[in-house]
Amino acid sequence: SWIGAVLGLPNTRQEEKKAHEEARELLRFVGLRGKGDYIAKNLPYGDQRRLEIGRALASQPKLLLLDGPTAGMNPNETSDLTRFIQRIREELGITILLIEHDMRVVMGISEQITVLDYGQKIAERGPAEIQSNPRVIEAYLGRPASALSEDSFFGSRSQA
C-alpha cells in the first residue's frame, strides 16, 4: 500500500526486496547481468531488444508475441537473439508467436509456420514443408521463368 511505502513498513520493504531480486534474476536470464543501473537508451541495440523482452517476461506470460525482433540488427546480433528466443521457449516453456521477415530466423526457431500473402493464409506447416511449398516460393520469389509465357513476358507480338 502507499502507506506502507511512505512509512517504510517491514512488509513493504520485504516485497520491494523480492521485486529487486526478481528483476536481477530476469536481467541475468536475458544476458544483462550487472546492467541494472544503465539507462535503457544507452544500451547497445541488441541489449535494448533483450531488455524489452525481459520486461515482457516479467509479467510471466504463457504466450509471447514478438514482432520483427531482429529488425535492424547485424548478423551477429540476429544470431544471438535467435538463440535467446530458442532459450526462452525451451527453458521457460513459453509459446512464442513470431512475426519476422528474416527467413533464417523463422526457419531456425519455428516449429510451425504460417505464411501470409497480402493478408491471406497460403500455407501452414513445419519449416521443411514451407521451404518447398510452391505457393510460398511463388509468393516470395516470383513465378519461375518456365511458367511465364512469351506473350506475358515480352508483351503481345501483335502490337509490334
What pLDDT is attached to residue 151?
43
**Torsions phi, psi for 125 (to 5 deg):** -160, -175
Q: What is the pLDDT of residues 51-61, one digit of tens each?
A: 999 999 999 99
Q: How far apart are alpha carbons 27 and 113 in whole angstroms?
A: 30
What pLDDT is attached to residue 41?
93
What pLDDT is attached to residue 152?
41
Q: Which of 19, 22, 59 is nearest to 11 (CA)?
A: 19
Q: Which of 105, 92, 37 is nearest to 66 (CA)?
A: 105
What pLDDT is attached to residue 157?
37
Q: Which of 157, 160, 138 is nearest to 147 (CA)?
A: 138
Q: Are 66 and 94 in contact (CB under 8 A)?
A: no
Question: What residues pair up with 66 in beta bridges, in sequence order?
Answer: 98
Q: Are 12 and 1 in contact (CB under 8 A)?
A: yes
Q: Are 113 and 125 in contact (CB under 8 A)?
A: yes
Q: Which three cell numbers stand for residue 109?
A: 526457431
Q: How far apart are alpha carbons 121 and 75 in whole angstroms?
A: 29
Which three-class secondary structure state does DSSP give residue 60? Answer: coil
**Torsions phi, psi for 69 (to 5 deg):** -65, -25
**What is the full per-residue pLDDT of the chain (160 aa) written as tens digits?**
777 777 778 888 888 899 889 999 999 999 999 888 889 999 988 899 999 999 999 999 999 999 999 999 999 999 999 999 999 999 999 999 999 988 889 999 999 999 999 999 999 999 999 999 999 989 887 776 555 444 443 343 333 3
